Structure 1
Amino acid sequence: MRSSIPILLATIALFSCAGQRAPEGGPIDTDPPVVISTIPPNYTTRFSGRALTIEFSEYIDPRSLEGALFISPSLGPLTFDWSGREVEIEFNEDLRRNTTYVVTIGTDVADLNNKNKMAQAFTLAFTTGEDIDHGAIEGRVFTRLAGDSPQGVTIAAYRLNDIKPDTLDPRNTRPDYVTQTGKNGEFILRHLAFGSYRVIALRDEFKNLLYDPETDDYGIAGSDASLTPHDTLRSNVWMRLVREDTTALRLLKVTAQTRHVLRAEFSAPIVAQDLPPSWIRIADTVARRALSVLAVSPVFPQLKSVIVVTDSQEADMPYRLEVDSLRSQSGLGMNPLARSLVFSGSVTPDTLGPSVVSCSTGDSARGVELESPILIHFSVPVEKTGSEKAITVIDSGRISVPYRYRWISGASVELKPEAPLKSKVWHSIRIRPARIYNLHGKPGKDSLRVFRFQTIDRDLFSTIEGAVRDTGSIDVGGPIKVTAQQAAAKEAVEYTVRLEHAGAFILKDIPEGKYLLRAYRDRNGNDRFDPGRLFPYKPSERFTQYADTLKVRARWPLEGATMWLR
């Protein structure tokens, strides 16, 4: 009988040589891999080798390491040779003289069996000279969306000393130093040469160490960092990730609703204010006679269209509407190839005056905040003088409630109570359209529109109290906006308070739940956080975020939430 032992031994030998493979069986592995040894050891001086060896605590997915290993300065393409839990990495370029090399193993490295990722980035430093550089930059990255993980975000540092900083474009320039964030978004760049650095955060989707607009989230620090022999550490470099919109604004549709009213629709939200009539030019396409524009008002709340009031249009006459100077909320101008459209003049006369399109409270709403503003939107821009007298607010005892009026556009007015409303009380907003006129003197219908709402029960709410501190000496202009945002809601609601100077704050009437507490210095006063631009470079507005998620409970004021602007 022929023996099967040689066949069995050959089979075992074949599989044992097939490559790196983790042992099977045993309990599920949940431990992250770590580096347990390196050749050369950390902080080696006068190194002259052609390769380095790294040993991990467990078997590693080779592809994860090859995509998360960075050497600064670059040594070009690398060759990886695996043997069990060890890998030898061979250089294909000669080492420079008297140079510190920093090898960073990022947190995208995962074990082979269960894909557990490294909890923190690992750094190995060696030098071909006598001394190792010891500058460092540390900070933290906050994600764009509440549910996103802050781990594995690429931190890129660009040395500015030998270039003109204004010419640095991360879209086509790779960084001098690289690391990745840990589980909570924290990072540290070690062993940097002294000098000036621009530090950015990238969710580098293509793993190319370049910024790809509209694909990669990015974050920018509030200022560049400087490292000197007397100041070797720059700490608290905080960055908030955003997604850049690089698509220019486009005019999508123009509709003549009546002989005096047009509606123009755009591809993205625009600024929330009336536009100068000169930004809209209209002329017929036959004799090129201009049609006068009287007013241009955005349509709330989407802000993706405007109402244009004109002189009388000729029925069925073809007109061309052209938009000039308008920008989206992202700051992008009009696409030159999509800034004009042709429409036909309306045959519909203006038989109806202004009507109420919507009220921010809705009707029969409950839980309205005691100091919440009310927004009322009309169908067309109206004559503001006298219109405020057509809008009143009364409580359940039919007592008039004093409000301040502010026109945020020609077709939208904001009502803000002069004092906090009473808790758990029904109120009525009463609007008489017959006393409100459009720009051609036509009143609305002789009717009464009523919107009822009930204020919150204060016993079901609480407050968040704290302070915002600012010890900075530069970029200290502008008010400070403090926001509490619901941490888990699909459509997160924000509660905001404005501070003219750093100091104490109180956020009132906060429902029970978990909240992210943030603050930023509104440098340009536009009431929103500006994340800055990578190119042309513009630093982000300075901001801060409370370290922990806050749990708010009814009737239990939350105190002591102190934050420092970074």
Structure 2
Amino acid sequence: MLLLSACATEVAPQGGPEDRTPPKIVNIYPDSGTLRFSDNRIRIEFNKFINVQSLRSALFFSPAIEDYEVYGAGRSAEIIIYDTLQPNRTYTYTLTNELKDTRGNALEKSYTFAFSTGNKIDSGFIAGRVFGRNNRPVKGALVLAYLLPDTNRLYADTLNPAYQKPDYLAQTDSAGRFQLNYLVEGQYRLIAINDKIANRRYDFAQEEFAVPFHPVRTGMTNVLMRFALEPDTTELELQVAEARHAHSVILRFNRDVAPDSLSAQQFVIFDSTAQAFVAVYDLYSQIEGRREQIVLVTDSLIEGHLYAVRAFDVKDRFGFSGDSLVAVFTGNSTPDTSTILWQPTFADSTKNLLELSAPSPKGRTLPLQFSGPISRSSLPQALVLELRIGKQYQPVDYQLFFIDATRAMLRPQRGFELGAWYRLTVNHGKLRSALNKPVRDTLIVRHFQIVSEEQFGTIEGTLTADSAGHVLLHAELLGTNVFYPILLTVQPDATGIAFTPFTLQELPEGRYFLSAFYPKNPNPSIYEAWDGGRPFPFRYAERFTVGFDSIRVRKRWTTTGARLRFSAIELPDGKAP
């Protein structure tokens, strides 16, 4: 039982400029590494007045000590241990950056100290780095370490970090580095979390996590982990249905679903009052209150009638569905008086359009947005795309990729030509609504030039790796979350090392970070996503590497000499396999 008490109220000195510096530990008792410790008191001195409540939250013992008290006064704190310490055992205590001074400044990183009740102290260690999904180092990530007994393989299979307390923990510094010290020698499972809930456990689907891409043992100094977000595998739920007006029903699920994976045939509406089915013509998505909603376009609804809507085989963005997706609502006969128009996202005669277009299997596509749901089959009759050849515009064949009834992506059959001028005309007189009714009879025309090749630069470099296989290399344009991929085939030479050249073309001007990973899929697509593994049931991440310096790309220039390297996976003695 942990008794929360303190013998004094800590008050910071008043006056002077505002203090933003982190507190520091200036002295401890016993000294870290002390042998034959028989006392029951730990004393810690700081350079600043400490918030004792934050010290309690920041303190972690390994092995666990349950019965202790924390006292604090000013710059000093004392921990009195009431549990009986086991003989010939190494104990560690860690202070995380939850510890704050009385002005709210947090400890810069975690610190671990150790003492032994016997004649020796455990000296195992593991060090590494944690990166975010943006490939930048993560400060303050909590690294949980679980000892995997050699004699109990079942423990490794059933270890669930959502419930199991870690044996050791550490926090990353501003460079994403961590070091676990005073460990029992052996194999460990490491899981890094951002610990938003501050419970030192992984909270499923609520927190990011990171796991290594190889087994981990004491003595390793370069264990790399990168954050991923585990999909929520709980059952998808249809929470609310609401008739917004006479021809639309808004559906709210407990998490986002992908509208481009849905069709009207997946929804059935039944009028319980009239004992009749109501037709669903199409659907679209909209954002309201930061939540995505699906809007069904329906036949006429009757005020006061009671309706039920059922959804079939609806999946969230990770492919998970629910069994009973049913909701009831009351009819609304309010007419919809909104006007449906194409809403161009660019001005007439815009140059360098689609410069920051994210690479995709469809190539460069032009997004089309309408103010209301349209009849998908009527859009090809209403839309004309023309390419300027000389001084004349000539029609070109095109493809439409619908996201929902209000959004589509447009591309010429042969793709957009770099530097070419196009004219796009939408004749609303030929356009129909999703209810197959005419819309406002107006003509909207836009001329635009696709970004020219002169606006792009190139990166040339070399990837160094020690394993044969496919590697997906990404160049991320900083500040955009846009990645430019290239698929490489790596084949080491007689020395066991491969120096694989790469060229990334058609890169917009800016600064880039490089990263790469080995996909487990033997026949990967260039657009394949990195697999970050799973905390439970445990699965290793795909092996990855990140660059540590940004690369400048300029228009019409080739930046040469870029380097990206996969670090060797260490063996416990520090050698590479």
Confirm or deny a common fold (TM above 0.5). yes
Shift of 1:29: 7.5
1:199–1:221 Cα contact (<8 Å) kept? yes
Structure 1: runs of 5+ lacking an equivalent: 1-16, 488-492
Relative to 1, partners in 2 of residues 1:323 and 1:470: Cα closer, same or farther, differing over 3 Å? Answer: farther
Relative to 1, partners in 2 of residues 1:480 and 1:77: Cα closer, same or farther, differing over 3 Å? Answer: farther
Matched residue, 1:140: 129
Matched residue, 2:216: 226
1:274–1:297 Cα contact (<8 Å) kept? no
Structure 2: runs of 5+ lacking an equivalent: 1-6, 358-363, 490-499, 570-577
Shift of 1:516: 5.4
Shift of 1:94: 2.0
Shift of 1:179: 1.4
Q: Aligned equivalents of 1:122 and 1:321: distance in 2?
A: 56
Shift of 1:134: 3.9
Residues 428-469 of structure 1, C-alpha deviations (whole Å, 9 max, x = no match): 223456667789988878764423334447666645555666
Shift of 1:46: 4.5
Q: Aligned equivalents of 1:443 and 1:325: distance in 2?
A: 32
Q: Which 10-residue stretch deviates more, 403-412 or 199-208?
A: 403-412
* SS, match of residue 260 in structure 2: coil
Matched residue, 1:482: 474
- Work out whether 1:266 is the aligned partner of 2:252: yes
Relative to 1, partners in 2 of residues 1:125 and 1:394: Cα closer, same or farther, differing over 3 Å? Answer: same
Corresponding letter in the other structure for 1:178: L
1:188-337 aligned at under 5 Å gives the runs: 188-212=179-203, 217-223=207-213, 225-227=215-217, 232-233=219-220, 235-240=222-227, 249-250=237-238, 252-255=240-243, 262-267=248-253, 268-286=255-273, 288-291=275-278, 304-306=292-294, 308=296, 319-329=307-317, 333=321
Shift of 1:221: 1.4
Matched residue, 1:174: 165
1:452-467 aligned at under 5 Å gives the runs: 452-456=447-451, 462-463=457-458
Relative to 1, partners in 2 of residues 1:68 and 1:191: Cα closer, same or farther, differing over 3 Å? Answer: same
* Identity of matched residues, %: 24
Shift of 1:73: 0.9
1:424-443 aligned at under 5 Å gives the runs: 426-432=421-427
- Work out whether 1:126 is the aligned partner of 2:115: yes
Matched residue, 2:367: 375
Shift of 1:252: 4.0
Aligned residues: 526
TM-score by length of 2: 0.70
Matched residue, 2:548: 547
Relative to 1, partners in 2 of residues 1:355 and 1:206: Cα closer, same or farther, differing over 3 Å? Answer: closer
1:107-118 aligned at under 5 Å gives the runs: 107-110=97-100, 117-118=106-107
Matched residue, 2:387: 394
2:194–2:209 Cα contact (<8 Å) kept? no
Matched residue, 1:407: 401
- Work out whether 1:152 is the aligned partner of 2:137: no
Residues 228-247 of structure 1, C-alpha deviations (whole Å, 9 max, x = no match): xxx63163332327598779
Shift of 1:177: 0.9
Matched residue, 2:4: none
- Work out whether 1:92 is the aligned partner of 2:82: yes
Q: Aligned equivalents of 2:549 and 2:278: distance in 1?
A: 58
Q: Aligned equivalents of 1:410 and 1:444: distance in 2?
A: 18
Corresponding letter in the other structure for 1:283: F
1:501-520 aligned at under 5 Å gives the runs: 501=488, 504=502, 506=504, 508-512=506-510
RMSD: 5.1
Q: Aligned equivalents of 2:287 and 2:16: distance in 1?
A: 60
1:529–1:541 Cα contact (<8 Å) kept? yes
Q: Aligned equivalents of 1:68 and 1:529: distance in 2?
A: 34
Residues 269-320 of structure 1, C-alpha deviations (whole Å, 9 max, x = no match): 321424255531222314644456566565799993446567x668767542
Relative to 1, partners in 2 of residues 1:194 and 1:399: Cα closer, same or farther, differing over 3 Å? Answer: farther
Q: Aligned equivalents of 1:186 and 1:157: distance in 2?
A: 15
- Work out whether 1:78 is the aligned partner of 2:68: yes
Q: Aligned equivalents of 1:226 and 1:543: distance in 2?
A: 16
Relative to 1, partners in 2 of residues 1:298 and 1:51: Cα closer, same or farther, differing over 3 Å? Answer: same
2:141–2:172 Cα contact (<8 Å) kept? yes
1:249–1:332 Cα contact (<8 Å) kept? no
Q: Aligned equivalents of 1:27 and 1:405: distance in 2?
A: 64
Relative to 1, partners in 2 of residues 1:62 and 1:420: Cα closer, same or farther, differing over 3 Å? Answer: same
